[in-house]
Structure 1
Amino acid sequence: MAIVDMTEFRLTLFAKDRDRLLERIQDFDQVHIRPLDKQTEEEWAGRIRSADTGKSVTAVNEAMGRAQEALDILSAYEVKEKGFKEKLSNRLPSLSMEESKTLVEGEGALTAIEETLRLQEAIRHSHERMDQLREERKQLDRWKALDLPLGDLKKPKRVQVTLGTLPSRWMDEARKFLASHAQRTYMEFLSADDKTAYVMVISDGSDADLDSFFRDINFTPVHFEGEETVQAMIQEREAGLAEEKKNIAQVEVELKKLAREKKTAIQAYYELQSYKEDRLEAEGKTLETEKITFLEGFVPTDRAKEFENLVTDELPDGRFELETREADRDDPDVPILLHNNGLVAPFENLVETYSMPLYKEMDPTGLLAPWYMLFFGLMMGDAGYGALMLLATSFALHYFDFKPSTARSIRFFQILSVPTILAGLAFGSIFGGLIPMDPLIINPQVEIMPMIIFSVILGIACIFIALGLGAVQSVREGDPAGAIWDYISWYFLIGGLIVGGLSKAFQWNSMVSSVAFILAIIGALLIIFLSARDEKSAGARIAWGAYNLYGATGYIGDFASFTRVTALMLSGAYIGFSFNLIGRMIMGIVGSDASVWEALGQGQVNIFMFIIAMVLLVFLHLFNLFLSALSAYVHSMRLIYVEYFGKFYQGGGKRFKKLRPEGKYLDIK
């Protein structure tokens, strides 16, 4: 378990060689480029400047956006059905860089993207046209009772035929008005809905009050283009809909063909553009003159010689200057790359989630892994749940093909299943007591107080080890005195108070309590006078030291916080026990002392009710497994981050960023 040693390099080369070298560095995959100091740019008074990659980045982003849009479209037209194993596996197909470039050029990826977008636009246009035709047909349906050609309505010379609409609430009023005041006007109601009536009005124009009445009732004339019947117009819309559906079907056939033949090429194009985006990002971190480029970064020390050979091979004429040196331990800009064995590596996610360590710090991964396993196992505390986790994760890792990041997460829970099983055996808990077992060590549901005391003792041990790690780190940084003033003093104070208190409570030898309290006083004095030694005045040092001493009260909360180990273990156990009680109620053996299996063997349980109860218990215990695992995951992380890391770990380091992006569709080698 370690932070990988880094070598810092500074490279000066001709600008015309920059792009080619960055491609080779990207293939090398073990280089972190850092932004050059802006102060250098100012010192050169404008003769040196940051590389301008804005337009190129915009062009690449647009290209990636179009490729992504095309891939999203084609994904809906894939014909190949994935099997169960393929659906759950997420390892990306692998291609070499040369294969990717050949595929993009040979299959015409750019043309395929444009064709895909054009075809999708055609489908969109057809759908819009269909929506328009449906709306027109809907409007025409209201007039289909009019069975004569619309052109015939214009032929009469002595009367005027008008089609129109009016609010349905005025229909009765309109009938009464026409019957009493408009003897020379006829209105036929063709159809109506909740709000509107559709009518045909025939009038010779002699009824004087007709126009004003129609205005009062909001009569609106309707005009149609065309001379044929309404039914013929409806049939035209139907024919138009059929034609557009046919067009869509033809376009979808072409899209399915593109999805089958060109999708991989488009994916390769997307990945190559992603590579180019990363190169441009690195290029933007350089400084340049008209002809010279300045580049700085870091490479793992064990690969430094290989990196030097790469630069020399790529620029064989020697037209470059490369300086390398061991990275400064106190430089906060040194990127962090963690290297751990297979057992510890899955816990690197916890470190990365919190904060990467500084280059001068210890790798905390191996320091947190045992504690996290212990906390998680105790909080779960059920051998049955642990066995299910072990079987599920082992099966998944063996049967399915995952990306490295996914496999590492599954391996994380596979490791955690082991302490869960051990804790469950110690507590005598298998699926909340569904399978009877005597505890090997303690039954927490009965001996609650001893379990709480154990949790607090566990917390004291965890915090004391964290303080010891803080002292070690202080010595590593060349400050052994700080290890005493900032960490050993707290050992004296907290340890002395704990031992002294226990000595008084259990009436140990008076010498023990006296020595313990003397150590506590020494620790308090060290904290008061030396914990704030960086302050300039003696008064400020003492004042801040007293404030730091007041922080000792926080340790009470820290120790009490570890009681959550017992609380979460008991909550999961009682929920599991309640589920088992529900199952016994269904089987009708609530009042019996016999286990489910004994009752079944003695014939006390109806086999049909037994099957129903067991099916229900499977789902209930899986639900409890999920809740318990989620709670244990979060609260174990909280104990690590707050109580454990808070005593020795600073963090704030920068992650080592390779010049090679993680693939989204293909793994480019």
Structure 2
Amino acid sequence: MSFSLRPQPARWFELLTAREDLTLAVETLARTGAVELETHSETATPLVLPDLRGRLEEYNRLAQHYQHYWPQDELRPSNLPGRPVDTFNHALQRLYAWRDAADAVVRRSEALRGELYELEMLREMLLAQGDTPLDLGLLAGAGPALAARLFVLPPRTHIAQIPAAILHTSVHGKVHDFLLAVGPPAEVDLLEQELTLHKGRPMHLPPWLQRGTDASLAALDQRTAAIQAEQRVLEQQLTALQEEHRLVEALGDIARLEWFLTHVEALPVSETFAWVTGWTSDLDGKVLQQALDRAQVRSLLRFPDPPRDKVPPMVFHNPWWAQPFELFARLLGTPARDEADPSRLLVFIVPLMFGYMFGDLGQGFVLLLAGLLLGRRVPTLRLLVPGGLASMLFGLLFGSVFSREDIIPPLWLHPLDQPLLVLAIPLLGGVLLLLLGLLLNGIEAYWRGALRDWLAMDAALLLIYLGGLGLLLTPYAALAALTGLFWYLGARLQRAGGDLRVLGGALGRLLEYTMQLIVNTLSFTRVGAFCLAHAGLSVAVVGLAEAGGHPLLSAIILLLGNGVIIILEGLVVSIQVTRLVLFEFFIRFLRGEGRRFQPLPAPPHKTERT
């Protein structure tokens, strides 16, 4: 049992690999999700990659201008056959060559995109103005004595005054306002300056516009189709250039090396070899070795004893059904080598408390479905699966289905019929849980080699607690409490060398500890209180539904009421379970003094040996 409750220290690994395979080796280790890199303090040296960060800045400048025209998905890095610097330089050369070949295509594509945007603005204006005999094509060629200009304005823009020399008309579109102005060029220029202050901007009037709105819209559709056809040709040209310069591979190499620079700061390297060291949660080493073999990394992997100056991170080793409950221990930290991992115990404790407070067959089934459907996206919600099952179980015991207690008979009782018993059961469960926490503290003392101290002090406190609880059943339990008291005081006197002055402080600490245990024990009555609150809220929802007076209205009230109970009480009950576990149970034995295992994150794209 001690092994199953005890977290395991991660295993130290050392990997000797060819320097040319360094990036591929680190990537392969990262993809296992089972390594945390750490170097020897006496051998760690900066991983000197000359010019690589400067070249990365060059890449970022290129990306600012051209990233929109690069492939974004399914990047396929090369097998990185050379040094990282050479690989990066080669990839960057491909990007420069692509830029030189594609620059004219890119500029033309951007010009067409801008023209399409203006055409959409023009379409909005034409549709908003309705039928008009105005020939906008003639206005496009106005000059030099007159200037015609179309302005796009934010909606509901107020213009104080337009010069009298300017003829104008306003149109209110769905998204923008438009102002068409015709007048002397100097006056129109002054108007443009004023409208700029109102976040307005001039828009080009194309010469192919026609007399009348319908004719202009038809001409606009023709121009739009021509632009889209040209854009398709340009996209084909860009795709051909991407394949010609192998951008998928070049961008994949750069993304991989950028990841490498982010996560690998120092490694012992020579002209030929590199040495990768750290911790692994793969305690038998099979996963790491198989991954390296599949990637064909030239390497030598071994698992020696860790360096003396290194503190191993701790690894949870629980079966799949207990892994979701590791969340509770992580809320306080990571258990150290001499602390218990309570995850397997919580598999039973947490669902029982949750189900007792949320006992309903139908609502529990909804929680179960939510856990199954959403658990992969949000791992924490996997806890709804055992919680929902426990709720369904207690729903059968309480005879409750979607808040109704008249559908199935209870296998045990209706909570509101016997409230004192409903409160007493979790109180007894809390006593057992606190006793378990005290016993786990003793087991941890044994692991630390401090069992004698625990027997001399904490065991006496445990006996006092048991004796105090036994007084509820028989007065003879006072003998156990008194025995524990004298045991505790005797141990304190022995530790103080017989100095009677320690007894006052010892009694004070004993009183404080005893009161804390009593408060912790009474805290578990809230489990029964929330069970009664859930039952009372269910009765209220059913009462409102029955008072609806119409079957459809009653069904809607019942549906909405159950939805509120599932969301609101589900959240409140989850908080209460977490509080009881952390501050009543864990406080007895769990300190969270271990170092957390932090696996190296995997890169976004995969490298394959070719």
Relative to the length of structure 1, the TM-score reads 0.61
In structure 2, distance between residues paired with 1:623 and 1:499: 42
In structure 1, distance between residues paired with 2:518 and 2:260: 52
Within the candidate set 423, 427, 433, 1:462 is matched to: 433
In structure 2, distance between residues paired with 1:659 and 1:421: 40
RMSD: 6.4
Within the candidate set 344, 353, 366, 2:322 is matched to: 344
- Asked if 1:637 is matched to 2:578, the reply is yes
Aligned to 2:45: 49
Conserved? CA contact 2:415–2:535, under 8 Å? no
Conserved? CA contact 2:360–2:392, under 8 Å? yes
In structure 1, distance between residues paired with 2:15 and 2:341: 29
Q: Give SS of 1:445's match.
A: helix
Deviations 1:640-662 (A, max 9, x none): 12221221112244444445628
What runs of 5+ residues in structure 1 fail to find an aligned partner? 42-47, 76-92, 102-108, 175-186, 203-217, 397-401, 589-608
- Asked if 1:9 is matched to 2:13, the reply is yes
Change (3 A) 1:161 1:4: closer
Aligned to 2:354: 376
Deviates more, 1:539-548 or 1:423-432: 539-548
Deviations 1:197-245 (A, max 9, x none): 999999xxxxxxxxxxxxxxx9xxxx9999x999879999996786357
- Asked if 1:516 is matched to 2:481, the reply is yes
Aligned to 1:215: none
In structure 1, distance between residues paired with 2:591 and 2:208: 84
TM-superposed CA distance for 1:375, in Å, is 0.9
Within the candidate set 270, 279, 282, 1:298 is matched to: 279
Aligned to 1:35: 38
In structure 2, distance between residues paired with 1:5 and 1:197: 73
**Which amino acid counterpart does residue 640 of structure 1 have in structure 2?**
V
TM-superposed CA distance for 1:376, in Å, is 1.0
In structure 1, distance between residues paired with 2:56 and 2:219: 44
- Asked if 1:476 is matched to 2:413, the reply is no
Change (3 A) 1:539 1:276: farther
In structure 2, distance between residues paired with 1:230 and 1:301: 71
In structure 2, distance between residues paired with 1:196 and 1:13: 67
Deviations 1:573-598 (A, max 9, x none): 22222221122112x4xxxxxxxxxx
**Which amino acid counterpart does residue 370 of structure 1 have in structure 2?**
F
Within the candidate set 407, 419, 430, 2:401 is matched to: 430
Counting only pairs closer than 5 Å after superposition, residues 19-30 of structure 1 correspond to structure 2 as 19=23, 21-22=25-26, 25-26=29-30, 29=32
Within the candidate set 201, 204, 227, 1:247 is matched to: 227
What runs of 5+ residues in structure 2 fail to find an aligned partner? 82-93, 150-157, 185-193, 195-201
Aligned to 1:287: 268
Within the candidate set 609, 613, 619, 2:554 is matched to: 613
User: Sequence identity of aligned pairs in percent?
Assistant: 16
Change (3 A) 1:274 1:523: farther
Change (3 A) 1:517 1:430: farther
Conserved? CA contact 2:118–2:203, under 8 Å? no
TM-superposed CA distance for 1:60, in Å, is 8.0
TM-superposed CA distance for 1:339, in Å, is 2.9
- Asked if 1:567 is matched to 2:567, the reply is no
Counting only pairs closer than 5 Å after superposition, residues 543-582 of structure 1 correspond to structure 2 as 546=508, 550-582=512-544
Change (3 A) 1:133 1:168: same
In structure 1, distance between residues paired with 2:69 and 2:181: 52
Conserved? CA contact 1:333–1:653, under 8 Å? no
TM-superposed CA distance for 1:313, in Å, is 12
Change (3 A) 1:270 1:190: closer
In structure 2, distance between residues paired with 1:312 and 1:459: 52
Change (3 A) 1:560 1:294: same
In structure 1, distance between residues paired with 2:183 and 2:104: 49
- Asked if 1:448 is matched to 2:419, the reply is yes
Deviations 1:398-427 (A, max 9, x none): xxxx99x45966654332222212222222
Conserved? CA contact 1:528–1:544, under 8 Å? no
Deviations 1:526-573 (A, max 9, x none): 57986xx9xxx9999986995585354333442333233123323332
Q: Which has the larger radius of gyration?
A: 1
Q: Give SS of 1:339's match.
A: coil
Deviations 1:469-491 (A, max 9, x none): 11101211222124335632431
Conserved? CA contact 1:529–1:545, under 8 Å? no
Conserved? CA contact 1:492–1:523, under 8 Å? no
In structure 1, distance between residues paired with 2:419 and 2:388: 24
Q: Give SS of 1:50's match.
A: coil
Q: Give SS of 1:324's match.
A: coil
In structure 1, distance between residues paired with 2:442 and 2:262: 40
Conserved? CA contact 2:27–2:603, under 8 Å? no
Aligned residues: 555
Change (3 A) 1:488 1:285: farther
Change (3 A) 1:392 1:37: closer
**Which amino acid counterpart does residue 580 of structure 2 have in structure 1?**
L
In structure 1, distance between residues paired with 2:179 and 2:480: 102
Conserved? CA contact 1:528–1:542, under 8 Å? no
**Which amino acid counterpart does residue 297 of structure 1 have in structure 2?**
G
